[in-house]
């Protein structure tokens, strides 16, 4: 037996689905979080002995799809014949929600209405007569609060009992020509009028929709272009300062203390064992993984704070303020959502691009969204901010805002290459009501990500660090590399050719090249590999109770200046993401040309940014260009030439099409 969960965006479908199935699908306090359908068995406490499958569908405003995810919903309820539909209705916005409800009721499939978010209505003094609404719609109506599991058992029991029955519709669409836009519009207006009549009878509001409340005034300020962006910058600075300068390192210190003690103990136990064993176990596995895990508290605090911002409704306001800028550079207003999601992980961010209708905008967004540093890059940022910039909070803020700037510049470049012209497009996004963020939700979100982080550290990063340690310990004849002859190791010989390419960027040494390469497997690997190749396992100073800062061991061992450290950090942040994210890009773009274009663009961006920072940074600080300026300039010239050639090639296709068209016209005229 299958029950479909359908409703408007941000009505709480996935939250209800999670509560009923025990799953932990991604939820967010804005529309468009769910981009595909998901299925899972209902918990026994709700389904009893029956096997009931719940199907969570993306949000839709109507059965006539406007966006791809709305298409998934309308196609599913039309063709998959679920046994019942649970229509989740946002009780705080009844008139808008019931339009879709009346359409679902026409399908003949039994519908149960879940009047969700009734707790917010109670706070606002809005009353809905559920019994009367049920009579008017001709289907059962239950008041529910998904976040508190209220009303779910009764609602789901009713849905199960109705399976197999035929639903009657309170409103039937007239037999009109669906190709006639005017007729469809007129019919929609009739349906709205029918819905509004019902709402007028069942709902009493203390605060009228047209009244301007304090929340409306706050929204007006936060979505005003300049104020909104400044507030966003201040908020993000606060998030980074708390997570990476204050609270994060404070907790990390305690964790690192334990890891160091354990590492020391392991090394002590292996005093009389072969050195390779101590290097593998104490330095490679415990030290390398420990270096990454040491940053876990910073990541957790940041995820916690971001979850609070998402849950209270602030991130939706950020989307609204960014929308006009994104449109101007040739992206969709909806491109904002992947960028916001991208602060967590690039893969769901790339998947979220699916909500963008236009193919070019969708591909361009999935190509650019990973310029926003994801959670895996936090340890890299924190390490370099701590070691070279005394843990300054501005470094993280700069990384994120510079990522945004690169998205805009990249979008302008794609716009120029593809010959795109600005056109008016619409981005409909409801601003969810402000609410006190749920600590439980934020804690859960933080723990889920922490678990994933630990799993990654204990699997991919552990194996990578072991391989790196082995490659560093042995030469190609499998002899242990002598002290002072590290350049003969397998790792050094593989990474050295790449290191030559990095000389113009200021970090042309094999250790840093090896760390950057392993970063493509998982970005945390950059930290893990640096720990292994430099024998630095404690990046957090346990005595100072803070991130290591200034001219400390880490900075001295790596032999980087502040300028080259920033160049190396940016190189790792803005070159292509991990392979998994590249795979997600491949799935979303569905074009090898665009995929290779994306990888090329990201490689060139990372290289160019690092080159400019290193060369001009050195010029400003030391009065001369850094080593490799001319070769770097040649590499840059090659990149520019490649962009021009690709642009010409893309445009020549337009010309070919145009020529063909003209021939057809000429032939037609001759005939």
Give the integer Cα–Cα distance in Å for 601 and 579: 16
Give the integer Cα–Cα distance in Å for 351 and 32: 11
559 binds other proteins (CB under 8 A): no
Give the integer Cα–Cα distance in Å for 76 and 619: 61
What are the residues facing 56 on neighbouring strands? 5, 38
> Cβ neighbours of residue 217 under 8 Å, at least 6 residues apart?
none
Q: Minimal distance in Å, beta carbon 649 to other proteins?
A: 28
63 binds other proteins (CB under 8 A): no
Give the integer Cα–Cα distance in Å for 44 and 21: 9
463 binds other proteins (CB under 8 A): yes
**116: helix, coil or strand?**
strand
591 binds other proteins (CB under 8 A): no
229 binds other proteins (CB under 8 A): no
24 binds other proteins (CB under 8 A): yes
Sole window of 227-235, 310-318, 447-455, 627-635 interacting with other proteins (rule: CB under 8 A)? 447-455
Mask: binding to other proteins, 153-182, rule CB under 8 A, as x and -? ------------------------------
> Cβ neighbours of residue 506 under 8 Å, at least 6 residues apart?
560, 561, 563, 564, 567, 568, 610, 614, 618, 626, 627
For other proteins, the binding residue among 98, 285, 291, 392 (CB under 8 A) is 285
DSSP for 119-184, written as a single string:
HHHHHHT-EE-HHHHHHHHTS-EEE-BGGGTBTHHHHHHHHHHHTT--PPPSS------TT-HHHH
For other proteins, the binding residue among 125, 225, 264, 274 (CB under 8 A) is 274
Residues binding other proteins: number (CB under 8 A): 46
263 binds other proteins (CB under 8 A): no
Query: Which residue, 338, 346, 343, 336, is CA-closest to 378?
Result: 343
Give the integer Cα–Cα distance in Å for 457 and 435: 35
Mask: binding to other proteins, 499-538, rule CB under 8 A, as x and -? -----------------------x----------------
Q: Are strands 53-56 and 38-41 parallel, antiparallel or unpaired?
A: antiparallel
125 binds other proteins (CB under 8 A): no
Cα–Cα distance list, 379 to 205, 383, 453, 530, 567 (Å) = 49, 6, 11, 12, 16
Q: Minimal distance in Å, beta carbon 241 to other proteins?
A: 23
Q: Which is nearer to other proteins, 36 or 535 (CB)?
A: 36
**150: helix, coil or strand?**
strand
Sole window of 152-160, 254-262, 276-284, 549-557 interacting with other proteins (rule: CB under 8 A)? 276-284
Mask: binding to other proteins, 350-389, rule CB under 8 A, as x and -? -x-----------------------x--------------
Q: Which is nearer to other proteins, 36 or 593 (CB)?
A: 36
Subset of residues 612 to 671 that bind other proteins, contact rule: CB under 8 A: none
For other proteins, the binding residue among 269, 591, 621, 657 (CB under 8 A) is 269
Query: Which residue, 62, 65, 57, is CA-closest to 2?
Result: 57
Q: Do 322 and 336 meet the contact criterion of CB atoms below 8 Å apart? A: yes
Sole window of 357-365, 504-512, 543-551, 581-589 interacting with other proteins (rule: CB under 8 A)? 581-589
Q: Do 339 and 404 meet the contact criterion of CB atoms below 8 Å apart? A: yes
CA 44 distance to own-chain centroid: 33
Q: Which is nearer to other proteins, 292 or 558 (CB)?
A: 292
Q: Minimal distance in Å, beta carbon 585 to other proteins?
A: 9
Q: Do 507 and 617 meet the contact criterion of CB atoms below 8 Å apart? A: no
Q: Which is nearer to other proteins, 247 or 464 (CB)?
A: 464
| Phi and psi, residue 480, nearest 5° | -65, 130
Using CB under 8 A as the criterion, which residues of the chain lie in contact with other proteins when the complex forms?
Answer: 23-26, 34-39, 269-270, 272-274, 277-278, 280-281, 285, 344-345, 347-348, 351, 375, 448-449, 452-453, 455-456, 458-460, 462-463, 466, 522, 579-580, 582-584, 586-587
């Amino acid at each position: 037996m299958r029950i479909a969960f359908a409703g408007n965006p941000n009505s709480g479908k996935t939250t209800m689905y999670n509560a009923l199935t025990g799953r932990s699908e991604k939820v967010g306090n804005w529309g468009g979080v769910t981009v595909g359908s998901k299925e899972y068995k209902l918990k026994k406490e709700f389904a009893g002995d029956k096997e009931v499958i719940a199907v969570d569908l993306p949000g839709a405003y109507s059965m006539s799809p406007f966006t791809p995810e709305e298409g998934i919903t309308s196609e599913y309820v039309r063709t998959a014949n679920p046994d019942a539909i649970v229509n989740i209705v946002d009780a705080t916005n009844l008139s808008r929600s019931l339009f879709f409800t009346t359409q679902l009721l026409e399908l003949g499939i039994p519908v149960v209405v879940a009047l969700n978010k009734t707790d917010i209505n109670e706070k606002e003094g809005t009353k809905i007569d559920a019994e009367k609404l049920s009579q008017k719609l001709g289907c059962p109506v239950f008041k529910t609060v998904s976040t508190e599991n209220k009303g779910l058992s009764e609602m789901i029991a009713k849905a199960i009992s109705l399976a197999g029955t035929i639903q009657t519709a309170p409103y039937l669409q007239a037999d009109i020509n669906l190709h006639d836009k005017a007729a469809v519009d007129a019919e929609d207006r009739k349906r709205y009028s029918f819905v509004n009549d019902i709402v007028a009878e069942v709902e009493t509001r203390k605060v009228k929709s047209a009244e301007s409340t304090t929340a409306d005034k706050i929204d007006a300020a936060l979505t005003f272009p300049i104020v909104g962006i400044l507030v966003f910058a201040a908020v993000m600075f606060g998030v980074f300062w708390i997570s990476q300068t204050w609270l994060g390192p404070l907790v990390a210190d305690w964790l690192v203390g334990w890891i160091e003690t354990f590492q020391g103990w392991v090394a002590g136990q292996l005093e009389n064992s072969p050195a390779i064993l101590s290097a593998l176990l104490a330095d490679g596995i415990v030290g390398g993984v420990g270096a990454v895990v040491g940053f876990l508290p910073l990541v957790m605090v940041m995820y916690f704070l971001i979850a609070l911002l998402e849950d209270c409704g602030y991130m939706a306001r950020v989307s609204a303020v960014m929308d006009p800028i994104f449109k101007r550079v040739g992206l969709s207003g909806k491109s904002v959502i992947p960028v916001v999601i991208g602060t967590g992980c690039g893969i769901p961010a790339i998947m979220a691009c699916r909500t963008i209708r236009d193919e070019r905008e969708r591909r361009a967004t999935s190509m650019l969204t990973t310029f926003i540093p994801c959670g895996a890059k936090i340890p890299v940022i924190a390490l370099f901010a701590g070691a070279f910039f005394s843990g300054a909070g501005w470094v993280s803020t700069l990384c994120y805002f510079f990522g945004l700037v690169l998205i805009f510049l990249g979008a302008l470049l794609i716009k120029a290459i593809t010959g795109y012209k600005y056109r008016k497009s619409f981005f409909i996004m409801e601003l969810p009501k402000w609410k006190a963020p749920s600590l439980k939700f934020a804690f859960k979100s933080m723990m889920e990500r922490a678990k994933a982080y630990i799993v990654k550290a204990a699997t991919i990063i552990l194996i990578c660090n072991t391989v790196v340690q082995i490659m560093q310990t042995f030469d190609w004849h499998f002899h242990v590399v002598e002290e002072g002859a590290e350049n003969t190791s397998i790792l050094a010989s593989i990474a050295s050719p790449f290191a030559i390419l990095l000389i113009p960027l200021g970090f042309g040494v094999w250790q840093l090249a090896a760390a950057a390469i392993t970063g493509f497997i998982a970005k945390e690997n950059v930290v893990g590999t640096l720990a292994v190749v430099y024998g630095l396992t404690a990046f957090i100073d346990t005595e100072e109770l803070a991130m290591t800062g200034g001219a400390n061991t880490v900075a001295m061992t790596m032999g980087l200046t502040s300028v080259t450290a920033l160049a190396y950090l940016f190189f790792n942040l803005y070159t292509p993401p991990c392979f998994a994210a590249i795979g997600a890009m491949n799935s979303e773009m569905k074009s090898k040309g665009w995929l290779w274009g994306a990888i090329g663009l990201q490689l060139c961006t990372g290289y160019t940014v690092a080159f400019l920072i290193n060369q001009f940074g050195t010029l400003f600080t030391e009065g001369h260009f850094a080593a490799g300026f001319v070769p770097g300039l040649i590499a840059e010239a090659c990149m520019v030439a490649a962009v021009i050639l690709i642009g010409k090639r893309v445009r020549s296709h337009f010309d070919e099409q145009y020529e063909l068209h003209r021939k057809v016209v000429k032939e037609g005229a001759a005939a």
